[in-house]
Amino acid sequence: MGDVRNWVENSPYANALGVQLTDLSDSGASFLLPFAESNANPGGALHGGVYASLSVIGGQTLARHVLGPETGPWHTMGFQINYLAAAINEDVHADARLLRRGKELCFVEVTSRTADGKPTGHATVAMRGRMGKPAAEMIKAPGDDGKSDPGPMGKLMSSVNFIAGRGLEVELMADSRARIKMPELEANRDLDGGHHEGAVLALLDTCGAMAAWAETGPGPFKASTAAIQAQIHKGQPTGELVSYAHVVNRDDEIFWSHVDVAERSSGDLVAQGTVFYRIVR
């Protein structure tokens, strides 16, 4: 248990968020995330990337614990989160529950809530231990045409507390597309090296949302992430990461944004998924 607690609380990324492991057993784990402005959007609402991070931290905590240290390294094969309600200027509690485990796979449900019991998020996570196997050869991300245009909202978005804390820089936010880079800052790292999976998903979430905003442009809107589906192909990627997003469909208020995350130097596809983003007047 000590090794798992050390990974949770001393990974630089989880430490930057303030994640605390409060309980761990063979069937589940519980976490506390005290409110911090550094994790919030304007108005005090917890950033969607933080919920995503809590979910994969919960999933990997249980995978490490029940599979054992010899089964690593670990990564998130599949991830689905639904955002139920906002936590505004509030602490958040999260509970991870083991649904089933195999020799190298763990299936985990993670729920989050405010201190007064209001549900805020529901996620299912499929975790894999690679059993010491060498990394597979990665396919390359398709990238984009290299156009740079942060548009009228790019610099503003990069100044949001949580986004700024990750060092995210919007390179493109136009024509229903977005491209955002994330440096390998200490505050984004996993204890075992490279980028923490939570930071990777925070980048994916943010880029998908920015693609939606690139279609509408600024205005008197209210917006939030409704859900994310994602897969992480390469655990603990290194160097600068770059995310590419484009809106593949929309209706009057929901935007479906496909997102690829890649290592900029190698071009390896690190993660991909769909962000379901809602913008309403």
pLDDT digits (tens, 9 = 90+) for 177-230: 999 999 999 999 999 999 999 999 999 999 999 999 999 988 889 999 999 999
| Shared-domain flag, residues 55 and 165 | no
| Shared-domain flag, residues 175 and 94 | no
| Shared-domain flag, residues 119 and 219 | no
Query: What is the number of other CB atoms lying within 10 angstroms of the CB of residue 209?
Result: 26
Please give the average per-residue pLDDT across 35-57, as a whole number. 95
Q: What is the pLDDT of residue 158?
A: 81
Contact 85, 118 (CB under 8 A): yes
Of 70, 63, 60, 76, give the one whose Cα is nearest residue 26.
Answer: 63
Look-up of token digits 């989050």: 112
Q: What is the pLDDT of residue 184?
A: 94
Final residue in a domain of this structure, among 129, 145, 179: 129
Backbone angles phi, psi at 218, to 5 degrees: -70, 155
**pLDDT band of 55, cuts 50, 70, 90:** very high
Token representation of residue 198: 């939570």
| pLDDT tens digits, one per residue of 84-109 | 999 999 999 999 999 999 999 999 99
Contact 211, 168 (CB under 8 A): no
The domain in which residue 78 lies consists of 2-129
Q: What is the pLDDT of residue 137?
A: 85
48-67 and 197-216 helices, crossing angle to 10°: 150
Distance CA 16, CA 33 (A): 11
The verdict on residue 141 lying in a domain is no
| Shared-domain flag, residues 168 and 209 | yes
| Shared-domain flag, residues 16 and 69 | yes
Please give the average per-residue pLDDT across 233-250, as a whole number. 97
Query: What is the number of other CB atoms lying within 10 angstroms of the CB of residue 116?
Result: 6
**DSSP 3-state assignment of 202?**
helix
The verdict on residue 101 lying in a domain is yes
Q: What number of residues does the chain have?
A: 281
* Residues near 116 by beta carbon (within 8 Å), at least 6 away in sequence: none
Q: What is the pLDDT of residue 109?
A: 99
* Residues near 5 by beta carbon (within 8 Å), at least 6 away in sequence: 21, 24
Q: What is the pLDDT of residue 2?
A: 77
* Residues near 154 by beta carbon (within 8 Å), at least 6 away in sequence: 170, 171, 173, 210
| Shared-domain flag, residues 62 and 168 | no
The pTM for the full model equals 0.96
| Shared-domain flag, residues 113 and 182 | no
The sheet carrying 28-33 orders its strands as: 20-24, 28-33, 92-101, 105-114, 119-129, 74-83, 222-232, 269-280, 254-263, 241-250, 177-182, 169-174
CATH number for the domain harbouring residue 78: 3.10.129.10
Final residue in a domain of this structure, among 76, 94, 129: 129
**pLDDT band of 132, cuts 50, 70, 90:** confident
| Shared-domain flag, residues 119 and 159 | no
Number of domains comprising the chain: 2
Of 22, 42, 43, give the one whose Cα is nearest residue 32.
Answer: 22
* Residues near 50 by beta carbon (within 8 Å), at least 6 away in sequence: 17, 33, 39, 92, 162, 202
Q: What is the pLDDT of residue 157?
A: 84
Alpha helices (runs of H) in 73-230, residue ranges in sequence order? 154-158, 161-165, 197-216
Q: What is the pLDDT of residue 146?
A: 92
**DSSP 3-state assignment of 89?**
coil
**pLDDT band of 1, cuts 50, 70, 90:** low
Please give the average per-residue pLDDT across 35-53, as a whole number. 95
| Shared-domain flag, residues 114 and 212 | no
Please give the average per-residue pLDDT across 168-174, as a whole number. 96
**pLDDT band of 134, cuts 50, 70, 90:** confident
Q: How much is the mean pLDDT over the chain? A: 95
Measured CA to CA in angstroms, residue 111 lies from 80, 83, 120 at distances of 12, 10, 8
Final residue in a domain of this structure, among 73, 94, 129: 129
| Shared-domain flag, residues 178 and 217 | yes
